Structure 1
Amino acid sequence: MTLVQLKHFVVLAEAGSFVQASKVLYLTQPALTRSIQGLEDELGGRLFDRLGRRIALTPFGQEALQRARRLVADAEALKQTGKGLHAGLIGTLRIGLSSGPGALLSVPLMLHMGEHHPRLQLQISRGNTSVLVDALREQQLDAAVLDVRSVRPAADLAIAQVFELAAGFLVRPDHPLVQLGRPATIRDVLAYPIASTPLSDEVARILIGRYGPQANPDDMVTLRSDETLTIVEVARQSQAIVLTAHAAAPGLVPLRMAPALDATARFGLVTLSQRQEAPALRILREWLGRWVVQNGAA
């Protein structure tokens, strides 16, 4: 068994056909077939079911794919480590950003990389927390900055550099509830559309603890999106109320509430605990630490 065979296996599983995988690998189909058959012989089981021109992973193939991806990714990370530094770190850094971190970090991170590490290939993937955690486990990402309240504790995940940002109900400066002359109640708020990204169970408990069952996000939130920028823009153009981190909503103002919400959004850097880190990940760690300090995050 060789790393080349494992790479052939991973590419074939992702491509779904020998024709497409051969094009990606610049191999002839007979050569790819021999490589896969040799791997199957050595592993002692079929990796794919052949369904005419289509293929499908066998149960054994599905289990083997996870390990093969890990080995191929670790080998690539080792290769990048060997290349080292030359006119700025070279290689690829694949980062996942969930909704809130995506709105806050995407642009400044890309600006920083473009200015200080122009030869480093930065790939940012956006998505909800569960999708990005799955991508992390499948070795498709090197790290992800996520809403850590939504990350289920697991032995294979490491969470570091956790920071908090003030969060709450935000509205346009000319919103009728700003003109009340008194803090708004939850009853006042419920008279308007409320926009939010998916909220963790912990945040739901905080809201219900402050304002009662009527503040359950399942019932209270009427405009839902996985994208923070979308719900913020809706609030800018309407009388909708958005529930998000203050820093993610420039141009909006926090709504004074009675009782005060005093909530925070909690984000952190998530990696696989047993995986060798991509060399460039140290750049992200250093940059994120500076960003947190500069933006007054706790």
Structure 2
Amino acid sequence: MTLVQLRHFVVLAEQGAFVQASKALFLTQPALTRSIQGLEDELGGRLFDRLGRRIALTPFGHEVLQRARRLVSDAEALKQTGKGLHAGLIGTLRVGLSSAPGALLSTPLMLHMAEHHPKLQLQISRGNTGVLIDALREQLLDAVVVDVRSVRPSADLQIALTFELGAGFLVRPDHPLVQRGRAATLDDVLAYPVASTPLSDEVARLLIGRYGPQANPDDMVTLRCDETLSIVEVARHSHAIVLTADVAAQGLVRLDMTPPLDATARFGLVTLAQREEAPALRILREQLPTWVAGFGTPTVA
């Protein structure tokens, strides 16, 4: 017994005649007859009484018809589900976002899904890069957007869509170091609390190379938190200085430094190299460049 035979049976029962059913199914009458006879042989009973050119369901046929309709309907629903999943229109997308990507992408991603893919379930997980990479490897996440400088090269990881954003020391516009009207030194910065998310070794080397051992984040950073929005909020309401990507610190301005920092934050989309991607991940791949392009340029004080 096949779903094709069951569909032939359902259509024939609805049409009430082989001629009409054959036309509806785009089959010849002999082919439809063979299909129904094969189904009857396998089920062990007649499904129709032949009444001249017309047919009528037998009592056994009535019983089979109810189940056949459910099976055919379920099969069609499964087919549509498969198409929807493949197109990324339904199903689930599980994305991990580290600190700055979370601050920048969480809202645009949720808004896009709400407006364009309301049937798709989006799950956003936040955390530091190491935790999110572990969750990706355990297949608890479909993809992560993280600081790729903090990701150790590995054959099982695939990094794509990398993008760089200007970064520096960010302060509120009325900060004392801004008001005095000249470039700040690291000693000036260290007179205030310095806030940051965990920084990669590469960024630490850049800071030390530019400003000396005092710029080692282990010593320089006094307020450390995985959530970029939290440290930015602290800087908005105090004289704390935040070291982060400019676009993640709305309402703050970049502090003019001597020598200039000229740093960037480098983020990327990380997936498992040997795993088939979730169909809905294409949405993130398509939209991410647009969102990044719309972040704009920083204000320098």
> What TM-score, normalized by structure 2, do the two folds share?
0.70
Q: Is the deviation greater in 246-255 or in 83-92?
A: 83-92
Q: Deviations over 1:208-252 (max 9, x none)?
A: 111000000000000000110110001011000000000000000
1:295 deviation in Å? Answer: 2.6
In the alignment, which residue of structure 2 is the partner of 1:84? 83
In the alignment, which residue of structure 2 is the partner of 1:162? 162
1:82 deviation in Å? Answer: 6.4
1:292 deviation in Å? Answer: 2.0
* 81 and 171 in structure 1: CA distance in 2 versus 1, 3 angstrom threshold: farther
Q: Secondary structure at the match of 2:261?
A: coil
The amino acid that maps onto 2:84 is L
In the alignment, which residue of structure 1 is the partner of 2:270? 270
* 88 and 125 in structure 1: CA distance in 2 versus 1, 3 angstrom threshold: closer
In the alignment, which residue of structure 1 is the partner of 2:292? 292
Q: Deviations over 1:75-121 (max 9, x none)?
A: xxxx9996122897010000000001000000111001100110110
Aligned equivalents of 1:294, 1:82: Cα separation in 2: 34
Residue segments in structure 2 that go unaligned for 5+ positions in a row: 1-77
User: Aligned ranges for residues 16-165 of structure 1 at < 5 Å?
Assistant: 83-85=82-84, 89-165=89-165
Aligned equivalents of 1:96, 1:235: Cα separation in 2: 26
1:291 deviation in Å? Answer: 1.2
RMSD: 1.8
C-alpha contact (below 8 Å) 2:160/2:270 kept by paired residues: yes
Q: Deviations over 1:104-163 (max 9, x none)?
A: 000111001100110110000000000000000001000000000011111100000000
Aligned equivalents of 2:137, 2:240: Cα separation in 1: 37
What is the number of residues matched between the two proteins?
A: 219
Aligned equivalents of 2:217, 2:265: Cα separation in 1: 15
Q: Deviations over 1:55-91 (max 9, x none)?
A: xxxxxxxxxxxxxxxxxxxxxxxx9996122897010
The amino acid that maps onto 1:134 is D
Aligned equivalents of 1:153, 1:160: Cα separation in 2: 13
In the alignment, which residue of structure 1 is the partner of 2:201? 201
C-alpha contact (below 8 Å) 2:166/2:245 kept by paired residues: yes
The amino acid that maps onto 2:263 is A
Q: Secondary structure at the match of 1:195?
A: strand
Aligned equivalents of 1:204, 1:116: Cα separation in 2: 41
In the alignment, which residue of structure 1 is the partner of 2:190? 190
Give identity over the alignment, percent: 78
Aligned equivalents of 1:203, 1:279: Cα separation in 2: 34
Q: Secondary structure at the match of 1:85?
A: helix
1:179 deviation in Å? Answer: 1.2
1:294 deviation in Å? Answer: 2.5
> What TM-score, normalized by structure 1, do the two folds share?
0.71
In the alignment, which residue of structure 2 is the partner of 1:234? 234
Aligned equivalents of 1:80, 1:272: Cα separation in 2: 27
1:296 deviation in Å? Answer: 4.9
